[in-house]
Chains A and B, each alone.
Chain A
Amino acid sequence: MTAVGEPRPGSDRPGGRALDPDRQDRQDRQDQQDQQSQQEQQELELRVLLERAVPRLPDPEGRLAGVRERVVLARRRRRTAGAAAATVTALVLAGVLLPGVLRGGSGPVLPAAPVPSVSHHDDDGGRDDGDGRDGRGATPEPSRSDGQDERVRFPQLGGLSLRLLPGWRAQKSPEDAVSGPYAHAFLANQPLADHPPACDTKELTECGPIVSLLPGGALVSIAPASGDARSIELQGLSELSLAGSPSSFCRNIGGTKEYGALLAGPSNRAEFTVSLCLGGDSPVVVEDVHTMIASADFVTGPDEPPTNGSTATAATGSGPTHSGPTFSATPPRNAK
């Protein structure tokens, strides 16, 4: 038996006096209420903070027109996809090889081949069957086995058109990512997969069309610029600058060096970011990439079917209006 005031055996309160059960219950409930109040207070503060800090952006003129345009484009893409499939089928049945139509002539302006909607995950990141196909029924890039340069166009990037050197492949992002900032284009000197090979779809996702860079391999990503970069006045292509360390995206595919640059659009402002991920040191590859990106032009007409025959006239601009900036041979460091 303990005397009054002496600690009860086993008690753990300061001074050793244990609360009776009722008081303990009340204390616990009070603690819970205090915690809840604290959370509610934090939530209230966050609500106030958000309301104050989120800017009241002006409504742009032409928002509805922009929405209508997207609706029309979406319908057109669905119709075009259906028509293209029918055309390919008809050509194959007629015995005409589509790559043969594309081969020949000098520098036809071709839309970059779309990624098919059905994906096939391939562990080696894509096979090349020797005729420019990736072995899965898709044709991600035009054939360049004749050694001729060709131009590829990316309609979803403002009609960006680039010279594609022999040995290089081009690809654009999937149909359902064609709009705005998540539209991308890729160039590579090795086969490209037709679907992100391994993507974590739960949280942050950084996927590309290559699982692993080959020695000397290179992957170029072109995407619309965002944020402060878009306000930079620029003509042509800024210098390809070596990053201090490659990004996680680049490292994940075995890249050891990464370069970045900005590319101007018709407005003479930086409209695109360009990143080059290299598997090893290769000044020749860097130079090739610079040559291709510096050849950028912007075609403001509707999507064109692959041309045959008089490709020279298409390349020299007798077709849709070209509204590109002037590119100098040695791009100046004139980014502001």
Chain B
Amino acid sequence: MDPGDADFEAFVAARGARLLRVAWLLTGDAHLAEDLLQSTLAKVWPKWSRISGDRPEAYVRKALVHLHASWWRRRWRGELSYADVPDAAGAVDAYAHVDLEQSLAAAVRALPVRQRAVVVLRYFEDLSVQDTAAALGCSPGTVKSQSSRALRSLRALLPERVDGGDRCG
């Protein structure tokens, strides 16, 4: 086995779970998340020997976000609404009796693609403004403004109280 393959496999074993959670937050669906992750890893693997020495996780995370944005831009999708099928990606209803996971996923999914990426990188991956900007290929100022807008949108979309009335934090 190529030594690079072993290193790649070790990386996937160690960081795959976390990256999958990032992908879930981007896509809102477990199947889509795994698909996004595997597609990202497939793109990265052939270049692994070049990137493995220098913050590979940052590289893979960036690739994940960019691939998701690319899928989002290129998708040809029709909205489907038919009576007999559950609405798989319905609108966020802050007053519906949904659990935290679904409401959060829906709220983040309702954000524009760039704001969604900023939320994922800054507040889930806990990257700095500078690192987020580097991952997204934009300026720190843009990251800050997108962060503010995302926070405002999420406050409007998410239920005011969670966990039986206690505010988290």
Contact = CB atoms under 8 A, between A and B. Distances in A.
Interface of A: 39, 41-57, 59-60, 63-64, 66-67, 70-71, 74, 173-174, 176-177, 179-182, 184, 186, 196, 199, 201, 203-209, 221, 223, 225-230, 232, 238-239, 241-245, 247-250, 258-262, 270, 273, 275, 277, 333, 335
Interface in B136-169: 147-148, 151, 154-155, 158, 162, 167-169
B78 A55 contact: no
Nearest to A232: B85
Contacts of B73: 199, 201, 205
Given A56-B21, A59-B16, A71-B42, A229 B81 contact: no
B58 interface: no
A260 B88 CA distance: 14
* Residue of A243, A244, A260 with highest tally of chain B CB at under 10 A: A260
B51 interface: no
Given A42-B151, A227-B29, 20 more contacts: A47-B123, A52-B168, A53-B104, A53-B105, A55-B21, A64-B9, A67-B12, A67-B38, A67-B41, A173-B74, A181-B35, A181-B71, A182-B74, A182-B75, A184-B76, A204-B72, A205-B72, A206-B79, A226-B29, A241-B82
A226 B89 contact: yes
A49 B162 contact: yes
Given A54-B24, A63-B16, A74-B42, A260 B82 contact: yes
15 contacts: A42-B155, A44-B169, A48-B169, A49-B104, A50-B119, A70-B42, A176-B70, A180-B35, A205-B73, A206-B78, A228-B88, A247-B79, A258-B78, A261-B82, A273-B80
Contacts of B16: 59, 63
Interface residues of B, number: 63
Interface string B98-137: 0011001100000011000001001110100000000000
A244 B81 contact: yes
B31 A243 contact: no
B82 A243 contact: yes
Contacts of A47: 123-124, 126
Interface in B16-32: 16-17, 20-21, 24-25, 29-32
B81 A67 contact: no
B83 interface: yes
A229 B29 CA distance: 12
Nearest to A60: B34
A182 B88 CA distance: 15
B106 to A, nearest CB: 11
B101 A186 contact: no
B169 to A, nearest CB: 4
A70 B167 CA distance: 43
B2 interface: no
A70 B38 contact: yes
Nearest to A199: B73
Given A48-B168, A203-B113, A63 B12 contact: yes
Nearest to A261: B82
Contact of B84 (A225, A228, A238): A238
A239 B155 CA distance: 40
B123 A57 contact: no
B20 A57 contact: yes
B64 interface: no
